[in-house]
Amino acid sequence: MTDRLYEPRIVVFACNWCSYTAADLAGTTRLKMPACFTVVRVMCSGRVDPLYILQAFALGADAVLVTGCHPGDCHYTSGNLHARRRVDFLKQILDRLGLTDRLEMHYVSAAEATRFQQLLTTSAERIARLGPSPLRASLAALPPHKRDAFRAMLQHLAAQLPGGRTDGFTIPEEMVTEGFGEPEYDRERCIGCGACAASCPEHNIELTDGDGTRTISQFHSRCVRCSTCEQVCPVEALRVVARFDLAAFLSDERRPAVELELATCARCGKPVAPVRQLDHLKQTIEEIEEIVPRRDAVLCAACHRQAHAAEMRQHMKTVNLVS
């Protein structure tokens, strides 16, 4: 080994209108910089997906710089602010995983060629001293669904990083970026009807019946905070909140949210529906009771059909339609 400083590999995302132009100007003014970085041009820093940053790290980048216009200068008004939010969000996760001080976001105006040069030079020096990223093995293939890809990438990073911790870590609600969250159930109100599970476009919420109990559970990593469940819930028992819990996100395990007592069929003993749902139904149809035959016993769908058929047959016999 030589005593020369390590030559890092740095990826710089630059927006077409400000920071890329500043980099151009740095060239036009012949400002010398270390050659260890590659600029990836995007129209707006708002285009930079956190997934790209993870990809860069997984491929062995020693640092990633996201650069965009100064606040208020964005060609598209607010793309740089979206970028900032997403970078800050990801940075917290990376910090926790042990990949600290390797992701930066900077505002560079089209006129700030010197600033671009200084940023690159100081970052290169700093990263060189920090040494190579502990990540070297890249991920062969990414799952097609972006959320799955994001999780796979985080899992990949977590597995490779020695000092990283995932436990007991949540990101403050106001810093969670779009699309991360989970439904928060009101255990007292939920009737266990399962409308949330049926409507979830990401198949995140699951119902499991067993042992006299219905469990509603969800995977934290799959919720995209679309709030469909919140909209369909008939009893306003859930609210979708912005949330990111690293351990839960990486584990991809079901998290039970509500457990409800199941009513069983009076005839066959199979589970029918949560007691609370039946109560709710009873209440709801009370006004139209006269048109609904009242049945005190709880029956499952199959037994209900049988019982109804038997009644019909009895009725037809009485009116002499069948013998």
Partner 1 sequence: MTPPARIGVFVCHCGHNIAATVDVEQVVAAARRWESVVYADHYTYMCSDPGQRLIRDTITEHALDAVVVASCSPRLHEKTFRRAAHAAGLNPYRVEMANIREHCSWIHNAGEQATAKAVRITRTMVEKARLDRPLDDLVFDVTPAAVVIGAGIAGIQAALDIADAGHQVYLVERSPSIGGNMARLSETFPTLDCAQCTLTPKMVEAGQHPKIEIITCAEVESIDGYVGNFAVRIKRRPRYVDWDLCTGCGDCLEKCPVKNIPSEFDVGIGTRKAIYTPFPQAVPNKPTIDPETCIWFGPPTRSGKKRCGVCAKICPTGAVRFDDTGEVREVEAGAVVVATGYRLYDKARLPEYGGGRYPDVIDSLQLERMLSASGPTAGELRRPSDGAPVRSVAFIQCAGSRDVNHNPYCSKVCCMYTAKHALLFKHKVPEGKAYVFYIDLRHAGRDYEEFLVRAQDAGVVYIRGKGASVAHDPDAARGRGQLVVTAANTLTQRLAEVQVDLVVLATAMQPAEGVQELASRLKIGLTPDGFLSEAHIKLRPVESMTAGFFLAGAGHGPRDIPETVAQAGAAASKVLMLFSHDQIYSDPTIATVEDQDCIGCGHCLEACPTQARVIDEGTGKVRVTEALCLGCGACAPACPTGAADMLNFSDEQLLTMLRAALEPPEATP
For residues 217 and 227, which CB has a smaller minimum distance to partner 1 in the complex?
A: 227
Selected from 1, 35, 291, 322, the binder of partner 1 by CB under 8 A is: 35
Distance in Å, CB of 245 to partner 1, minimum: 16
Residue 127 in contact with partner 1, rule: CB under 8 A: no
Between residue 240 and residue 259, which ones bind partner 1 under the rule CB under 8 A?
none
Closest CA to 298 of 249, 264, 247, 252: 264
Residue 84 in contact with partner 1, rule: CB under 8 A: no
Residue 288 in contact with partner 1, rule: CB under 8 A: no
How many residues at the interface with partner 1, by CB under 8 A? 61
Distance in Å, CB of 155 to partner 1, minimum: 17
Q: Check residue 245 and report its DSSP letter.
A: B
Residue 272 in contact with partner 1, rule: CB under 8 A: no
Between residue 176 and residue 235, which ones bind partner 1 under the rule CB under 8 A?
177-180, 201-202, 224-228
Alpha carbon 73 to chain centroid distance?
Answer: 30
Region of 269 (left: φ > 0; alpha: ψ -120 to 50; beta: rest) is left
Distance in Å, CB of 256 to partner 1, minimum: 23
Between residue 38 and residue 57, which ones bind partner 1 under the rule CB under 8 A?
38-44, 46-52, 55-56
Distance in Å, CB of 124 to partner 1, minimum: 12
Length of the chain: 323
CB 169 within 8 A of CB 96: yes
For residues 17 and 185, which CB has a smaller minimum distance to partner 1 in the complex?
A: 17
Residue 100 in contact with partner 1, rule: CB under 8 A: no
For residues 149 and 246, which CB has a smaller minimum distance to partner 1 in the complex?
A: 149
For residues 75 and 189, which CB has a smaller minimum distance to partner 1 in the complex?
A: 75
Give the Å distances, CA to CA, from 46 to 100, 151, 312.
22, 21, 66
Residue 33 in contact with partner 1, rule: CB under 8 A: yes
CB 246 within 8 A of CB 169: yes
Between residue 56 and residue 75, which ones bind partner 1 under the rule CB under 8 A?
56, 59-61, 75
Give the Å distances, CA to CA, from 152 to 32, 145, 227, 259, 298.
39, 10, 24, 30, 46
Selected from 65, 66, 127, 149, the binder of partner 1 by CB under 8 A is: 149
For residues 99 and 149, which CB has a smaller minimum distance to partner 1 in the complex?
A: 149
Q: How far apart are CA 152 and CA 140, in angstroms?
A: 11
Residues 6+ apart with CB under 8 A from 185: 216, 237, 238, 257, 258
For residues 56 and 158, which CB has a smaller minimum distance to partner 1 in the complex?
A: 56
At 184, phi and psi to the nearest 5? Answer: -110, 115
Distance in Å, CB of 223 to partner 1, minimum: 9
Distance in Å, CB of 285 to partner 1, minimum: 29
Q: Which residue has the tokens 């597995």?
A: 159
Q: Which two tokens stand for residue 262?
A: 């199941």
Q: Which residues of 54-93 are buried (b: 16+ CB within 10 A; e: fewer)?
A: bbbbbeebbbbbbbbbeeeebbeeebbbbbbbbbebbbbb
CB 244 within 8 A of CB 176: yes
For residues 26 and 257, which CB has a smaller minimum distance to partner 1 in the complex?
A: 26
The residues of the shown chain that bind partner 1, judged by CB under 8 A, are 9, 11, 16, 20-21, 23-24, 26-28, 30-35, 38-44, 46-52, 55-56, 59-61, 75-79, 82, 86, 117, 138, 142, 144-147, 149, 177-180, 201-202, 224-228
